[in-house]
Amino acid sequence: MASGDIWTNVKNSQVISTSRVVINCIMLTPTGGNADCTIYDGESASDPEISCLQTLQYLTFLWNLDPPLETQRGLYIALGSNVDNVLVSYRILQD
Residues 18-40 have pLDDT tens digits of 999 999 999 999 998 999 999 99
The model's pTM:
0.93
Residues paired with residue 18 on neighbouring β-strands, in sequence order = none
**How many Cβ atoms from other residues are within 10 Å of residue 57's Cβ?**
11
Q: Given this model, what pLDDT does residue 2 score?
A: 59
What is the number of residues in the chain? 95
Mean pLDDT of 47-74: 96
For the chain, domains (ranges, CATH) are: 6-92 (2.60.120)
Does the pLDDT value for residue 73 go beyond 90? yes
| Better-predicted residue by pLDDT, 94 or 14 | 14
Confidence label for 1 from pLDDT (cuts 50, 70 and 90) = low
